[in-house]
Amino acid sequence: MITLRPAQERGTANFGWLDSRHTFSFGNYYDPNHMGFASLRVINEDKVTPGQGFGTHAHRDMEIISYVLEGALEHKDSIGTGSVIRPGDVQRMSAGTGIRHSEFNASKTEPVHFLQIWILPEQEGIEPGYEQKTFPEAEKRGKLRLVGSRDGRDGSITIHQDVDLYATALQDGEEVSHSLAAGRVAWLQVARGAVQLNNQTLSAGDGAASAQESLIALRGAGNDAEVLLFDMGV
């Protein structure tokens, strides 16, 4: 069964410097029917104006993944990590026992557009940590590239949860498919463009939950589609 989560039904928040869309309940947006899916707790699509951002704030017991679509996001945290995240980069921050960090648009002239993803860890109280890797466009073009996993295989970042995170970039008519093992579920998030998911058309911002399905089949329905696929245990 595939359940769609249309982009236009997401929660919204606009603070001038930040325009955000919430796939699941977050901040002042609360919907008991959309509290997350399996271990996936947050997918926020954020657009931050030049030179603005999130001041230093605290997290704990959460796996936080940043996936930049446009622009550059500057990250600093209390364990001494500082980096700039650009398109093609995937960053994982494990909040664990507690961490403080900030995120700012690294440009004074261009906006930054990114997805902020929170995944519940399989164990609380782990040591805070950080990891960032780059996955070139060629590795995602017309194929599903593993960018995050519990064991860090195939050069993916390590996620402290039973999640395989794939990214793909599809031109019109390009096809990829993914088999789901028995007892596993999937979430699909369209980051840009449009795709057909098992013959249903999804556009940028749309999400879809897949349960009791054995195959996820994607087909590009326009140019420059980019999609994230979460294969998760339940």
pLDDT at site 58:
83
Q: Which residue has the higher pLDDT, 200 or 67?
A: 67
pLDDT score of 204 = 97
User: Quick one: CATH architecture of 137-233?
Assistant: Sandwich (2.60)
Query: Which amino acid appears at position 1 of this protein?
Result: M
SS3 140: helix
Average pLDDT, the chain: 94
What does the pLDDT look like over 184-195, one tens digit per residue? 999 999 999 999
What tens digit of pLDDT does each residue of 130-183 get? 999 999 999 999 999 999 999 999 999 999 999 999 999 999 999 999 999 999
Pick the CATH number of 10-134 from 2.60.120.10, 3.90.25.10, 3.30.70.270, 2.40.30.130: 2.60.120.10
Q: Is the Cβ–Cβ distance between 216 and 186 less than 8 Å?
A: yes
pLDDT given at position 192: 96
CA angle 29, 31, 36 (to 5 degrees): 95
Q: Where are the domains positioned within the chain?
A: 10-134, 137-233
pLDDT tens digits for range 112-128: 999 999 999 999 999 99
Sign of CA dihedral 9, 14, 17, 18: negative
Q: 137-233: same fold as 10-134?
A: yes
